Amino acid sequence: MIDTWAQIGYLISAVCFIVALKALSSPKSARTGNLLGAAGAVLAVIITFVAYKPDHLGAILVALVIGTIAGVVGSRRVQMTHMPQLVALFNGVGGGAAALVALMELGEVRDGETIAAIATAFTILVGAISFSGSVVTFAKLQELMTSRPVTFPGLPVLFVAGILGGLALSVWLVTDPRVWVGVLLCLVGLALGIMLVLPVGGADVPIVISLLNAFTGLTVAAGGYVLGNALLLIAGTLVGAAGTLLTKLMADAMGRSVFNILFGAVKGGSTLGGGTASERPVISGTPTDVAILLGYAQRVVIVPGYGLAVAQAQHTLRDLVEELQSRGVKVDYAIHPVAGRMPGHMNVLLAEAQVPYEQLREMDEINGDFKSTDVVLVVGANDVVNPAARNTPSAPIYGMPILNADEAQRVIFLKRSMRPGFAGIENELLYDPKTTLLFGDARESLTKLLAAVKNV
């Protein structure tokens, strides 16, 4: 009877996860969806304790307390600019946990249970790949190591050898489920995860995070099969499917294949440019110059980017937009799918500043409006408006769909310096005669700009 009620409770938790995932598709319902998903997870944990009374209860509770404290403190203290790193760490922990659980369950796999043995081997190998790969993505984004592609002679051969070794050990584990074989398989997985992410350039790391997230989901689903837990099977499948779809969508938004993103540098290409600042002359202006352009415009489009998040200037930007709107200027925000460091980064940042969601317009929706736009104000973005994506076949971002800011009458860039964007290449739009640059920290520049607009 207790088991029946437990399964019903798990079903309710699974429904919470499904509804939460749907709610996360819209900024208006995302907070509710997040809370609903968390509630489903808490319910599942409570059911497990009440219904099955696990052994080593004291150690489990201590681990839960430590994990809860670490999660709450880390999530509350993390800056929006560092959110992708946090996601990478959380994802890596999930993959590592799935691999450890599978290793512990090896002793329970009996001869003849081929499907269970296959699921166990899969969970160990892919979970280890997800863990080590996520750690490397964290290090790249946190600048603990270079964000440029890291390759060395023999890397392709070593990677292929690792894959073949992992497959051979997996077959061995299925036919003879010994713990030491599982440990070897785990070590091979850790090495593969590192080699998978090292050749990826910093601009592509968010896509790899999404791919590794899909890996973690699949390992959780396989672990659910091994443990006979339907909730883990459902939750892992949801994460795996969502991560796979997100990876494909992000790759399409950059105009490249997932294979090219992962192995482009290994083949001799690069996902980053030179990364050096140019000394070519540009047209720079003062806050008053820019205020005149904005104050007398009829149509303005704001293009936010990672620099806006770094400067925490979203509130000041909202105040500037409200001032322009009070003067009768039509203002919208143009959101590129990969603006910032992860999908939805700009949406969340602007929602935090109470920017009406109706003003946030996606790339496909707003690209046709740039020809009739008087002024485009680019705040902390670069690669997503770089015409090289259309015009320069040798550029690492060539083929990536961009916002057509170069079609507007005037373009204003708020930049801290002339350093290239995350892709490491120059933006020819910066040197266009219709472009004006306002140098400085984005928040300070916007504050001065707001004051100047009020005086126009």
**Catalytic residue positions, numbered:** 383
* Spatial CA neighbour of 411 closest among 389, 426, 427, 429: 429
Element (H, E) at 168: helix 155-175
Both tokens assigned to 226: 């091994």
Cα torsion 43, 48, 53, 56 to 10°: value is: -100
266 CB-near residues (< 8 Å, 6+ apart): 151, 155, 156, 159, 199
Q: How far apart are the first and last CA of the chain?
A: 75
Helices within 176-279 (DSSP H only): 179-197, 205-227, 230-253, 258-263
Coil, helix or strand for 156?
A: helix
Among candidate residues 407, 452, 428, the one with its CA nearest the CA of residue 282: 428
Residue located via tokens 């969340």? 348
Task: Tell me 241's DSSP state.
Answer: H
- In the structure encoding, which two tokens stand for residue 82, read together? 């560092």
Contact at 8 Å (CB) between 136 and 95?
no
Burial of 252 (0-12, 13-18, 19+ CB in 10 A): middle
CA distances to 261, 414, 445 from 440, rounded to whole Å, are: 33, 7, 6
Nearest to 386 by CA among 359, 410, 404, 368: 404
Residue 135 is inside which H or E element, if any? helix 114-141
